[in-house]
Structure 1
Amino acid sequence: MKKLFEKLIQLKAKQVIKKFKPRIVAITGSVGKTSTKNAIAAVLKTKFSVRVAEENYNNEFGVPFAILGAKSPGRSPLGWLKLLLKTEKFFPEILVLEFGADQPGDISALCDLAAPEIGVVTAITPVHVENYGSDIDGLVAEKRVLIERLKANGLAVLNGDDDRVRGMAMKSQAPILTYGVNSSDVQASNFALETLKDFSFEHGETFATLGFHVRAKDQDFDAALKNALSRTQVLSALAAIAVGQYLGLTSEEMLKGLLTLEPVKGRLNPV
């Protein structure tokens, strides 16, 4: 019965996308997917209505819930029926989705479910390669499917600091924007970390600000992230800036969005 409900929820998600035609941003990679997803959503929300998965819904089972803005009903048949019968009266302009790749074929299946206009690849590391014969090249090939499936009028956003990811540009028919700290289209430099002197602070208080300079196309501007301590968080912000520029946001709008960004819970948070 559960398998039947899963198939029905996938069908409903496809129908909703066909009806409302949202622009879809999909993110994949071994690390940094969630922080990049959150950064992109924060930036785009300054101009568009955006839906982003609040849970780690990144596979064939979870992505339909992310699309529908719902949580899994679990073992409740009534909950499944309510979700399947729910009528969508409002739908966001943009979906920001996370695509996982636990095994070969996952990315292709997710692209069939929700074909992205924009594909973002964060970084590839030799983790979770057991389903790829412990071969990182197999994992790279699977992640690359997201870029290969983009249309010519879409956009591929690639981490220029990762050679495996940068190399995916050769397989894309869509235009490419790279991001990073080394020779990228959207590049960060001049990092400056400011923290509270004694690190005594209340929960929710800003204890650190990481500033950096951004060079992107014809724009140069200074940006800042609250409570950020690592380069990974800056890379997520750069990916968001690349997507934001493509979708016509100004630097002011993007900076406003980045200032609302909070670190992913449980990651680089003070204790």
Structure 2
Amino acid sequence: MTDNDGERADGVRVLITGATRGLGAAMATALLAAGADVVVTGRDQGSADAAAEQLAASGTGRVVGIGMDVRDEGSVERGVHAAVDALGGIDVLVNNAGIGMRTVNPAFLTEPQPFWQVPPDGFRDLVATNLTGYFLVARAVVPHLLEAGTGRIVNVSMNHETMKRAGFVPYGPARAGAEALSRIMAADLDGSGVTVNILLPGGATATGMVPDDVPAAMRAHLLDPSIMGRPIRWLCSAAATGVHDQRIVATEFNDWLSRRSTGAPG
């Protein structure tokens, strides 16, 4: 980040779920460098603490690790209360915790599995993490935001192609559900002072969700998780005040921002 970016987030208190690696860790890195105070969560306290320790050198902001299993209502409630206590409140929730297709089919890119062969337990666990988890965490955080009269939610998603691609059950349906949930959250919170937006990378990313044996030619086209840095900084900055119910693609962010500044459609 350069000094003239104008995308500072000094003192903004951000809770990022699933931030021990991948997109979550990349967003935490960018926000800490922008001066935000960040809580990063993982399914267990050990992984969250390790991530926080590693991220601590990323910038001037403070980082705290909290164990939170987004599939479990009690764990979410305890985690959110711990985050509020640690930061003195929450200004922004970034719903990011998720698992990928490799949890139900390790070879999903080279050997797509039709939906009728997907194990029901694998289906339930992925949906519980990638969709129900977004609901549970937002459900626990929003009362704090409403009490403050202001706040922001950023729900991380993926390309629409993943929602209809052969062999992408249950990942595709879970992401489609999360987008629908985001739009309804935005409608429910319209006029409340709490904004809701969707952020997605714009392509497959070089994270743990991609199989280790992915062909070299395909791996060369994977996006670096840092692609999420600039848009998440902006969404947590004063520049994004009042921005609501938008679907922002990180790879297209500069063009989107340019169109927005000129009042052009789209």
Give the TM-score normalised by the residue count of structure 1: 0.43
The structure with more strand, counted as a fraction of residues = 1
The structure with more helix, counted as a fraction of residues = 2
Structure showing greater radius of gyration is 1
